[in-house]
């Protein structure tokens, strides 16, 4: 049985073992998948032990994605642009780092939710690690432009600058957001963790498709979007399932079906 795992700290909340066990059963692949709490100061040691024990691949979550990037022997283009790795394949002791977060977001938006991104105006809130992970896959869909707005304006400007070779992306401070509608708003800030909604004009949500990368409960961003005329408000559960499906495909060369799992997880969450 091929061995997979997810490393994180904390990790008890992770749905990944449940998701990957479902994919394995569905596709008939014989794999094990466990969650492991790696100590903050010895992620590398845990990875080495896992590889020595014959592990075939692993996922990485907070706070180890940049360390996983540094440990990888080779990186995919999505890992390189994200500057972070959430999926590693082990082959002959070498680590192949990939990032499926943004791929998962785009799959959820376009395939599950039926949203066309091409030629749309997208407002992305936040310019941290989460934003870095989603920009390339979003730009690959050829939106009209991505407006990248962040509390610390200089970070938005720097990030927009480094992604401008992939498409039209402009950086702003949150206070510069205009009070007029955009097509899609993606909340990639960690403000929801503090139970707050960034202070932005309400008119921007009118008629917009609003997506929060977080999942598990209705966030302040989702409440704000619902009460300001958003056409649809969605959390990041679909992105979680789709990034897992993309990791599974990276390891096993077979893309699992996500529809049934996603609807059963949504039922549990509702």
CA geometry: angle 224, 226, 232, nearest 5 deg: 125
Rounded Cα–Cα distance for residues 159 and 147 (Å): 11
Which position among 3, 21, 65, 266 bears the catalytic label?
65
| CA pair distance 105, 131, nearest whole angstrom | 11
Determine contact, residues 127/161, Cβ cutoff 8 Å. no
Region binding ligand ATR by CB under 6 A among candidate stretches 24-32, 92-100, 193-201, 221-229: 193-201
Kindly determine how many residues on this chain lie close enough to bind ligand ATR according to the rule CB under 6 A: 15
Query: Residues 6 or more apart from 265 whose CB is under 8 A from it?
Result: 15, 237, 241
Taking the complex as a whole, the smallest distance from the CB of residue 155 to ligand ATR amounts, in Å, to 5
Q: Is 90 in the site for ligand ATR (CB under 6 A)?
A: no
118 is annotated as an active-site residue: no
Residues 6+ apart with CB under 8 A from 164: none
Residues in the chain: 270
Q: Which residues contact 252 (CB under 8 A, 6 or more apart)?
A: 27, 29, 31
Q: Is 112 one of the binding residues for ligand ATR (CB under 6 A)? A: no
Under rule CB under 6 A, residue 196 binds ligand ATR? yes
264 binds ligand ATR (CB under 6 A): no
121-160 footprint of ligand ATR as x/- string (CB under 6 A):
-----xxxxx-------------------xxx--x-----
To the nearest whole angstrom, how small is the minimum distance from the Cβ of residue 54 to ligand ATR?
31
Nearer of residues 24 and 123 to ligand ATR, judged by Cβ: 123
Q: By CB under 6 A, is residue 189 in contact with ligand ATR?
A: yes
Residues 155-184: x where in contact with ligand ATR by CB under 6 A, - otherwise, as a string = x-----------------------------
Residue 100 φ/ψ region, left for φ over 0, alpha for ψ in the -120 to 50 degree band, beta for the rest? alpha
Tokens of 270: 């509702």
Q: Which residues are catalytic?
A: 65
Residues contributing to the site for ligand ATR (CB under 6 A)? 126-130, 150-152, 155, 189-191, 194, 196, 198
């Amino acid at each position: 049985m091929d061995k997979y795992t997810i490393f994180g700290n904390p990790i008890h909340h992770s749905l990944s073992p449940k998701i990957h066990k479902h994919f394995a059963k569905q596709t008939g692949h014989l794999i094990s998948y466990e969650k492991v709490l790696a100590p903050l100061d010895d992620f590398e040691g845990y990875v080495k032990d896992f590889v020595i024990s014959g592990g075939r691949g692993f996922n990485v979550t907070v706070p180890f994605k940049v360390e996983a990037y540094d440990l990888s022997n080779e990186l995919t283009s999505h890992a390189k642009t994200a500057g972070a790795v959430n999926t590693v394949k082990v082959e002959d002791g070498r680590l192949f780092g990939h990032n499926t977060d943004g791929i998962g977001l785009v799959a959820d938006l376009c395939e599950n939710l039926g949203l066309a991104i091409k030629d749309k105006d997208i407002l992305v809130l936040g310019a941290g690690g989460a934003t870095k992970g989603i920009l390339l896959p979003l730009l690959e869909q050829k939106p009209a432009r991505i407006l990248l707005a962040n509390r610390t304006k200089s970070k938005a400007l720097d990030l927009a600058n480094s992604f401008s070779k992939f498409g039209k992306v402009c950086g702003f401070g949150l206070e510069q957001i205009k009070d007029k509608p955009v097509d899609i708003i993606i909340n990639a800030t960690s403000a929801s963790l503090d139970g707050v909604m960034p202070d932005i004009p309400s008119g921007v949500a009118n008629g917009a498709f609003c997506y929060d990368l977080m999942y598990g409960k209705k966030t302040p961003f989702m409440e704000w979007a619902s009460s300001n005329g958003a056409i649809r408000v969605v959390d990041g559960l679909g992105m979680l399932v789709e990034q897992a499906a993309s990791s599974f495909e990276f390891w096993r060369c077979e893309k699992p079906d996500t529809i049934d799992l996603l609807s059963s997880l949504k039922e549990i969450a509702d």
